[in-house]
């Protein structure tokens, strides 16, 4: 039986420090998304806004952050107990299932020839990290698309939350590994960008899916403050990608190895 909107009690929990649904136990299993749809269809704007506020603060963003922080913790356990090189071996294991699923660097192989489509997909991913309003600014330039994160609400949020410090002390790379942009000081969570989207993709098609650099400053691998902006740069043509981005990953730019099309595997 559907729960009426009047039965939905949303109050702030002192113990959780956020909003919490406090309906009767028999009502708590009702989907908040279904309740939101009911409010919208009924034209109840105030109730829809109230439910949206709770969905963000109570049911979506906290779950998202929890699982990504958990992932950072798992990566840290590997790096801190088995060595930083073990992290690379662990992460590379994704190739086994990734390529079998006809994906490369997180994108379907059919999408790799459409840079604009990849930018739209990446924007969707970054919006899913629940950034502050106005934190993502995307610009198209003559040779590239740039997704500016002011600041990053993925790995950057973890650093701003203090996960690499104090009682948590999650792993930060201490050596200049190529798969860490050849610089120490990078949180292991962020290395899916350099290793998974950079090196491993380049090993298959000769160039990264995207590269990184603070906006207005070009590429600066020393820039690592959690409040600094992080920019994802998608070049429209890999021939236009500067050599310095390859060098930071321990690679050499070789256009003869560039593969624009990656066939599907059976």
Write out pLDDT tens, residues 142-187: 999 999 888 888 888 888 888 888 888 899 999 999 999 998 888 9
The pLDDT assigned to 164 comes to 85
The pLDDT assigned to 95 comes to 64
Domain count, the chain: 2
> Which stretches of the chain are DSSP H helices?
32-41, 45-54, 61-82, 84-92, 94-100, 115-127, 155-160, 191, 200-205, 243-248
What letters, b where the CB count within 10 A reaches 16 and e where it falls short, cover 211-250?
bbbebeeebebeebebebbbbbbbbbebeebeeebbebbb
The pLDDT assigned to 160 comes to 86
> Is the pLDDT score of 38 beyond 90?
yes
Q: What is the pTM of this model?
A: 0.87
> Is the pLDDT score of 100 beyond 60?
yes
**Residues 6 or more apart whose Cβ sits within 8 Å of residue 213:** 219, 220, 231, 233
Give the end of a domain, one of 82, 116, 138. 82
Residues 192 and 173 in one domain: yes
User: Could you give the CA distance from residue 54 to residue 8 in angstroms, rounded to a whole number?
Assistant: 11
Residues 78 and 104 in one domain: no
C-alpha separations of 214 from 132, 178, 222 in Å:
18, 19, 10
Residues 160 and 73 in one domain: no
| Percent of the chain scoring above 70 in pLDDT | 90
> Is the pLDDT score of 55 beyond 60?
yes
How would residue 103 be classed by pLDDT, with cut points 50, 70 and 90? confident
Q: Which domain holds residue 30?
A: 7-82
Helix axes 61-82, 84-92, angle to 10 degrees: 120
Cα angle value 139/193/112 (rounded, 5°): 65
Q: Within a domain: residue 228?
A: yes
Q: Within a domain: residue 108?
A: yes
User: Could you give the CA distance from residue 250 to residue 233 in angstroms, rounded to a whole number?
Assistant: 18
Residues 131 and 52 in one domain: no
> Is the pLDDT score of 28 beyond 50?
yes
Write out pLDDT tens, residues 194-253: 999 999 999 999 999 999 875 444 434 444 556 677 889 999 999 999 999 999 999 999
């Amino acid at each position: 039986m559907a729960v009426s909107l009047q039965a939905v009690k949303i109050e702030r929990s002192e113990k959780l420090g956020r909003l919490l649904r406090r309906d009767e136990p028999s009502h708590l299993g009702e989907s908040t998304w279904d309740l939101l749809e009911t409010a919208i269809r009924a034209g109840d704007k105030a109730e829809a806004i109230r439910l949206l506020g709770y969905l963000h603060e109570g049911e979506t963003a906290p779950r998202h952050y929890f699982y990504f922080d958990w992932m950072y913790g798992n990566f840290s356990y590997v790096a801190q107990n088995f060595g930083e090189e073990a992290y690379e071996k662990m992460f590379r294991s994704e190739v086994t299932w990734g390529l079998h699923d006809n994906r490369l660097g997180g994108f379907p192989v059919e999408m790799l020839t459409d840079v604009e489509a990849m930018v739209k997909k990446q924007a969707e991913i970054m919006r899913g990290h629940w950034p502050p309003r106005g934190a993502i600014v995307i610009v198209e330039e003559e040779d590239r698309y740039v997704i500016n994160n002011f600041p990053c609400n993925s790995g950057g949020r973890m650093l701003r939350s203090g996960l690499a410090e104090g009682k948590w002390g999650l792993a930060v790379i201490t050596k200049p590994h190529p798969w860490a942009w050849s610089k120490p000081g990078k949180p292991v969570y962020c290395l899916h960008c350099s290793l998974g989207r950079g090196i491993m993709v380049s090993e298959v098609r000769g160039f990264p899916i995207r590269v990184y650099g603070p906006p207005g400053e070009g590429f600066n691998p020393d820039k690592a403050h959690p409040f600094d902006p992080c920019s994802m740069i998608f070049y429209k043509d890999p021939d236009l990608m500067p050599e310095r981005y390859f060098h930071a990953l321990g690679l050499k730019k070789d256009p003869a190895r560039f593969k624009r099309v990656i066939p599907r595997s059976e």
